[in-house]
Chain A
Amino acid sequence: MDTASLIDDYFMLDMGLTPEERAVRDTIRHFVEVEVRPNAGRWWLEGVFPTELIPRLADLGVFGAMLPEEYGGAGLSAVGYGLIMQELERGDSGLRSLASVQSSLAMFAVYRFGSESQKLHYLPAMARGEMIGCFGLTEPDAGSDPGAMRTRALKTESGYVISGAKRWITNGNLAQMAVVWAKDDEGVIRGFIVPVESPGFRAKKIETKASMRMSVTSELYLDDVEVPQTALLPASRGLGSPLACLTQARYGIVWGVVGAALDCLAEVAEYVKTRVAFGRPLARTQLIQERLVDMLSRIVAMQLRAFQLGRLYQAGTLRPPQVSLAKRDNARAALEVARLAREILGGNGISVDYGPIRHMLNLETVDTYEGTYEVHTLAVGRDLLQENAF
């Protein structure tokens, strides 16, 4: 077999996929290869998300792909959804983030906690990409400890008035709707659907990022935003509700980062075969071989975690701490793979003409968001030892 196919699937996990899962993966991969990869470096430098991709992604059926057809989804399996995330992130983590937040956070929140009329109103439009969603949980002073949020939703006669600020909100300035988490009069966390045109709602793009530059990240300001009673996600109650959404998104990350790592290794493997130093290709040196085999070994471990997590998801036996462990280890492993790739490319490695530095800088975000390495360590520690050390 040739190097490229060996990198993609060293342990032949392909045989465990259904024909539909393979077809979905190949479709998204082809799309990303043709439409995204050639421009990713430029988009990243320019710090813009190419919004022309949104209708294309919607046409492909990426948004809410796991949801039932009546809500605009494709009823895709968890493994199939994971493969979409992998292929999008092969292009760029920012592209995957847009799709992750739309599907796993915003649409999932409506699907899981929304009323039937909310689902029918929002989900098909979001699946068609006509409406982009964002997810407001993190605050300037509440990151790893979301229970300490200050945003309040106080009951009025006709609904709620929401005030507070949210930070690091992916899609903030692209979105037409925000799922905002706030504490009610009793201090219970509830979810609200807030249209961005609501008076008092403002999104401000964060311009200073040196990571995830293709993704739009914003601050949200809610200054006495009045919403009707119908904005409340009726089934949401307590911190467990947003955390259930995060479990979905983290599941997608477990798969997504595999794609970034695969892209790094594929690029480096090509490079070391042609780059000559000291009279021989880099590939014929022991130091380089060790590094590439190291990268491959990490990727295989990442793939095995992702596949098994997908099977647990589909069996309905997935436990959130398992997602925590996999998110923690896959994000970190992908970051390490990208760093190794960057290093092997030498001087060329610092240019976005090559993928690894872009992936590497993006993955610094992925390693942090949706639960830092440390937060997931403590989540697994609590599960393992039945002692809460948070």
Chain B
Amino acid sequence: MKILVMVKQVPDTATRIRINSDGTGIATDGIKWIINPYDEFALEEALRLREKFGGEVVAVALGPSRVEEAIRQSLAMGADRAVHIKTEAELDASLVAEALGAVAREEGFDLILTGKQAVDDDAAQVGARLAVVLGVPQVTVVLKLEVDAESRRVRAERELEGASEMVEAPLPAVLTAQRGLNEPRYPTLPNIMKAKRKPVTVKTLEELGVGTVLQARVMALTLPSERPAGRILEGEPEETVRELVRLLHEEAKVL
């Protein structure tokens, strides 16, 4: 079974975000980058499927040279090799899906796994768009996955608001991973060292025939406004409770 895992490098969720000087993106200096946590679930699932059925896991990532670290980490977790679509350009979800789709077509695949969304822009677009680009079924927000290699079908449990849904689909397909699908492994030291020697193919957007003309672009990025300082009511409990209720009713208008 050949599985492609689409991996995005995102700022560490613990990083304090600052806006860059032109106000359209985040300042990237001094940021610690990680693999999008949902993509880690996707990668872990791919590795487990390979352990069960054999085959190959190929990690695919798009971005500037800093993305190499996420690629190395994917290889250290156990991916067999990787494709790096190297570009400095800021792409929208549609172009990213086209570029990933071009690699997927070149590579061929039984299954594509990726996170249900990336934690940086929370767009949740690329997985679904990729399935459309490739003309294959998609199952998103997958919590549980069973693959039948014989009949080449997947059965996936999807998370819905207050319910879960069982979906069946034929392979090849695109699946997006939700937290809870599995517990990603630690990259082991020997695998970290071996990752250095695993092949990484570098592709440019040009080679893949993908342009950089955006259909959607970020106009402005602003930090959430600072929360006003809290107020502390002083006095006897009886008075302060009465005052609190009055404020909640008259000012906050929540009661």
Complex interface residues of chain B between 15 and 41 (CB less than 8 A to chain A): 16, 30, 32
**Contact indicator B186/A74 (Cβ below 8 Å):** no
With A19-B68, A19-B69 already in contact, the answer to whether A27 and B196 are too (CB < 8 A) is no
With A1-B30, A2-B16 already in contact, the answer to whether A23 and B190 are too (CB < 8 A) is no
Contact flags (1/0) for A1-33 with B, using CB distance below 8 Å? Answer: 110010000000000000110111001001100
Partner of A59, one of B30, B72, B76, B188: B188
Interface bin, chain A: 20 to 34
Complex interface residues of chain B between 156 and 197 (CB less than 8 A to chain A): 186-193, 195-196
**Contact indicator B189/A62 (Cβ below 8 Å):** yes
Is A75 engaged at the interface, CB distance under 8 Å to the other chain?
yes
Partner of B196, one of A2, A20, A61, A62: A20
Is A257 engaged at the interface, CB distance under 8 Å to the other chain?
no
Partner of A19, one of B30, B72, B191: B72
C-alpha spacing A80/B190, complex, angstroms: 12
C-alpha spacing A368/B19, complex, angstroms: 50
Is A296 engaged at the interface, CB distance under 8 Å to the other chain?
no
For the residues of B in contact with A, the DSSP-based class is: helix
Partner of A20, one of B16, B30, B68, B193: B193
**Contact indicator A69/B190 (Cβ below 8 Å):** yes
With A23-B76, A76-B193 already in contact, the answer to whether A61 and B188 are too (CB < 8 A) is yes
Closest to A75 in B: B193
Is A65 engaged at the interface, CB distance under 8 Å to the other chain?
yes
C-alpha spacing A31/B16, complex, angstroms: 23
With A1-B30, A20-B196 already in contact, the answer to whether A61 and B72 are too (CB < 8 A) is no
**Contact indicator A23/B186 (Cβ below 8 Å):** no
C-alpha spacing A23/B196, complex, angstroms: 11
Complex interface residues of chain B between 48 and 76 (CB less than 8 A to chain A): 68-69, 72-73, 76
Is A318 engaged at the interface, CB distance under 8 Å to the other chain?
no
For the residues of A in contact with B, the DSSP-based class is: helix
Separation in Å of the B73 CB from the closest CB of chain A?
A: 6
Separation in Å of the B77 CB from the closest CB of chain A?
A: 10
Find chain A residues with CB under 8 A from B191 CB. 61
With A2-B16, A19-B68 already in contact, the answer to whether A27 and B193 are too (CB < 8 A) is no
C-alpha spacing A296/B71, complex, angstroms: 34
Find chain B residues with CB under 8 A from A27 CB. 186-189, 192
**Contact indicator B188/A20 (Cβ below 8 Å):** no
Find chain B residues with CB under 8 A from A23 CB. 72-73, 76, 187, 192, 195
With A75-B193, A76-B193 already in contact, the answer to whether A31 and B186 are too (CB < 8 A) is yes
Find chain B residues with CB under 8 A from A61 CB. 188-192
Partner of B189, one of A2, A19, A30, A76: A76
Number of interface residues of B (CB under 8 A): 18
**Contact indicator A30/B193 (Cβ below 8 Å):** no
**Contact indicator B69/A74 (Cβ below 8 Å):** no
Is A210 engaged at the interface, CB distance under 8 Å to the other chain?
no
Most chain A beta-carbon neighbours within 10 Å: one of B68, B76, B191, B193:
B193
Separation in Å of the A21 CB from the closest CB of chain B?
A: 9
Complex interface residues of chain A between 69 and 96 (CB less than 8 A to chain B): 69, 74-76, 80, 84
Complex interface residues of chain A between 173 and 223 (CB less than 8 A to chain B): none
Find chain B residues with CB under 8 A from A31 CB. 186
C-alpha spacing A61/B193, complex, angstroms: 10
C-alpha spacing A271/B89, complex, angstroms: 43
Partner of B193, one of A2, A22, A62, A74: A74
Is A60 engaged at the interface, CB distance under 8 Å to the other chain?
yes
Find chain A residues with CB under 8 A from B186 CB. 27, 30-31, 60
Find chain B residues with CB under 8 A from A22 CB. 69
Find chain B residues with CB under 8 A from A74 CB. 189-190, 192-193
Most chain A beta-carbon neighbours within 10 Å: one of B16, B72, B187, B189:
B189
C-alpha spacing A23/B32, complex, angstroms: 12
**Contact indicator A60/B72 (Cβ below 8 Å):** no
Separation in Å of the B182 CB from the closest CB of chain A?
A: 16
Separation in Å of the B230 CB from the closest CB of chain A?
A: 16
Q: What are 21 A-B pairs at a CB distance below 8 A? A: A1-B16, A5-B32, A19-B68, A20-B192, A22-B69, A23-B192, A24-B192, A27-B187, A27-B188, A27-B189, A30-B186, A59-B188, A60-B188, A60-B189, A61-B190, A61-B191, A69-B190, A74-B190, A75-B193, A76-B189, A76-B193
A positions within 8 Å CB-CB of B = 1-2, 5, 19-20, 22-24, 27, 30-31, 59-62, 65, 69, 74-76, 80, 84
Additional pairs, 6, CB under 8 Å, beyond known A27-B186, A80-B189: A22-B69, A23-B195, A30-B186, A61-B188, A62-B189, A76-B193
B positions within 8 Å CB-CB of A = 16, 30, 32, 68-69, 72-73, 76, 186-193, 195-196
